[in-house]
Amino acid sequence: MNLSNLSTSISAFAPGFESRLQECIDVSLPVKGKLPDWLNGHLVRNGPAKFEAGLQQYRHWFDGLAKLHKFSFAGGEAKLTCKFLETDAYRIAIADKRIGLAEFGTNPSRSFMEKLANPFNPKLTDNANVNLVNLNEHYLALTETVNTMEFDCRDLTTIGKFNYDDKFAGQVTTAHPHYDFERRELYNLLIKLGPTSAYVIYKVGHGTTARKEIAVIKIKEPSYFHSFAVSANYIILVECPFVVNPLDVIVGNKTYVESYSWKATNATCVSVYRKDNGELVASAETDAFFCFHHVNAFEENGDVVVDLLAYPDAQIVQSTYLDNLRDASCSLPLSKLLRLRLSMASKTLAAENICEAGLELPRIYYERVNGKAYNYVYAPGQDNGKFLNRLVKLNVKTNELKDWRQDECYPGEPVFVARPGAINEDDGVVLSVVLDAGTNNSFLVVLNAASMDEMARLELPFIVPFGFHGQFFRNSGRK
Ligand SMILES: [Fe+2]
C-alpha cells in the first residue's frame, strides 16, 4: 500500500507499517559515533514487512509477512543482511498474489468450490514473524501457530519447516519460549484446541529436538497466551479472560483472533507449576486484565513474584489493526507494569502497580536474571497515548526511570547485550531499530545501558517496518 498520497490522514509512524520489499546481504552500515570494541555478534530481528498479497490486504499488524534483519557487529563495524522468510504464506502471496493461509487477524478469501472441498477453516499460517530462538543450534523463527520455520543464520536463507523429533499434537503455542541456563532446558506452552482442549507445558533438553511433557491441563475455554513466565523452580501461567470456544477456531468462519472474546466478569487466574514434575503447587485469582508480555518472575520469601505488562482489557488487540495504526487519529491503550505476588503459603495473590509508562516489548538481561530477582527492564514506552516514542530503562526496585528519545522517532524493542565479563546488571548496551519519521528512514541506535546515553547509530539504507522481537547471537553457525 502506498501511503505517500495520504499524508493528511495517516499517523506519523505509518511508514513503519508499509511494505518494504528490499533484501540485502552484508551491506556495510555507516557508523555515527563509536561502537563498543567488545560488541561482536549478530542481532537478528523478526517482524512483518509485507502487508498485502496481490490486491488483498492483511488487516492486522501481526499478519504481515515475516522478514528477518540481521545486524552483524565486528571490530567496531556493522553490516546488514535482510531477507523474507520463504514460508508457504509468502510463496502463495508472491506466486498467486493472494492471501493463502489463516493469519492472526486475516482469513484468506476462498471460493465457493474451495469451501465445499474443505468446509473447515483454512490451514493455520506458517508466517513465523514474531520471534527467534537458537534451539540446540537450529535457528528457528517462531509464531503462535505450531508451524515453526528454520533458517540459516549466516545468510538468512530459509531451510524449511522445522519438525520436532516427537509426536506432539496441537495448533497454538507461544513465540516466547524460556530457557533455563542451569538445567539446560527450554520450556514452552502448546495449546490443543478441539472437543477436548488442553494446555501442554513441555520442555526440550540439551542436545535434543524432542519435546517432553511436563504438565497437561485440560481446559474447556482456553485463554489466549502470548507469553508466560518462569522462576527458578516454577512455570507460571497467567490466564487472562480472553478466551476461545475451540470449535470456533476449527470450524468457524471468524479469523483466529476474532474467535476469542473478552469476558470482563471473569478473573485472571495465576497458576504455578513445578518445572521438574509439573505439579500444580499454587493457583489464585485477581481482577481481570489482559497481557501480551511478561517481564520476569522470581521467588522471594515464600512468594512467587510475576512482573508483566497489563492492560485493563483486550482492546489493545483491536488497536493494533493496521487501519488504526496507520490513521492519524490512532491511539493505543496504556499498559501498566503490574507486580503479582502469590503467597505459596496462603495461596493469596496481591497486585501492585509499579509503572505506568505505557511499556511494551520488554527486555531484561535474560541470561543472568531471568527467573531471578532483578533490577532493570528496558522497553519502548509511550507518553503521548499514540505509539511507542521513547526507550525506557526502569529500575523495578527503586522506580528510577531513564529514557532516550528523539523528536519524531519511534523505537522498537530494545535488546540488551551484556559486555563480556559484565559485573553490573546494566553493564552493556541496548540495541533498538528506530523509525525516524522526520527523515523518513530507520536507524539502529546503540545506547549505553547504564546511562541510556547514545553511543552510536547506524543509518540504514531503507525503512525497517516495526517488528516484534530479536535475539543477539554471539556466533552464527551454519544453521
Ligand atoms: Fe511478543
How far does residue 366's CA lie from ligand 1's centre (Å)? 15
Distance 62 CA to ligand 1 centre (A): 10
Residue 479 has a pLDDT of 39
Over the chain, what is the mean pLDDT?
Answer: 94
User: In this structure, which amino acid lies at residue 69?
Assistant: H
Q: Is 223 helix (H, G, I), strand (E, B) or coil?
A: strand
Residue 121 confidence (pLDDT) above 90 = no
Instruction: Summarize the confidence of residues 25-42 as an average pLDDT.
Output: 97
Mean pLDDT within 242-262:
88
Instruction: Please report, as a single letter, which amino acid is at residue 436.
Output: D
- The 10s digit of each residue's pLDDT in 130-162 is 999 999 999 999 999 999 999 999 999 999 999
Distance from residue 33's CA to the centre of ligand 1 (Å): 31
Instruction: Answer whether residue 32 shows pLDDT above 90.
Output: yes
CATH class of 4-473: mainly beta
Those residues with Cβ within 8 angstroms of residue 420's Cβ, 6 or more apart along the chain or in another chain: 38
Q: Are 307 and 338 in contact (CB under 8 A)?
A: yes
Phi-psi region of 399 (alpha: psi -120 to 50; beta: other; left: phi over 0): left
| pLDDT at 405 > cutoff 60 | yes
**How sure is the predictor about 477, in pLDDT bands with cuts at 50, 70 and 90?**
low
The answer on pLDDT for 236 being more than 90 is yes
How far apart are the CA of 294 and the centre of ligand 1, in A?
A: 9
Q: What pLDDT sits at residue 475?
A: 75
Pairing type for strands 268-274 and 234-239 reads antiparallel
**pLDDT of the residue at 120:** 59
Distance 144 CA to ligand 1 centre (A): 10
φ and ψ at residue 90, rounded to 5 degrees: -70, -45
- Residue 115 has a pLDDT of 65
The percent helix, strand, coil of the chain (3-state, each to 5) is: 10, 45, 45
Task: State the distance from the centre of ligand 1 to the C-alpha of 7, rounded, in angstroms.
Answer: 30
* Residue-range domain boundaries for the chain: 4-473
Nine-digit cell at 83?
531477507
CA distance readout (Å), 121 to 98, 222, 262: 17, 18, 22
Does the pLDDT of residue 250 top 60, yes or no?
yes
Cα–ligand 1 centroid distance for 66 (angstroms): 14
d(CA 169, CA 190): 8
CA angle 347, 353, 354 (to 5 degrees): 115
State the average pLDDT over residues 80-100: 96
Amino acid at 388: L
Q: What number is the average pLDDT over the span 100-116?
A: 80
- Spacing, Cα 143 to ligand 1 middle (Å): 9
Instruction: Quickly state the pLDDT bin for 235 (edges 50, 70, 90).
Output: very high
- Give the distance (Å) from ligand 1 centre to CA of residue 271: 20
pLDDT of the residue at 4:
47
Could you tell me the distance, in angstroms and rounded to a whole number, from the CA of residue 119 to the centre of ligand 1? Answer: 31
pLDDT at 111 over 80: no
CB 11 within 8 A of CB 331: no
- Quick one: which of 478, 452, 461 has its CA closest to 71? 461
Mean pLDDT of 283-289: 96
Q: Would you list the DSSP string of 55-114? A: TEE--BGGGSPEEEEEEEEETTEEEEEEEE---HHHHHHHHTSS--SB-SS-PPP--HHH
Q: How far is the CA of 131 from the centre of ligand 1 (A)?
A: 7
pLDDT at 478: 46
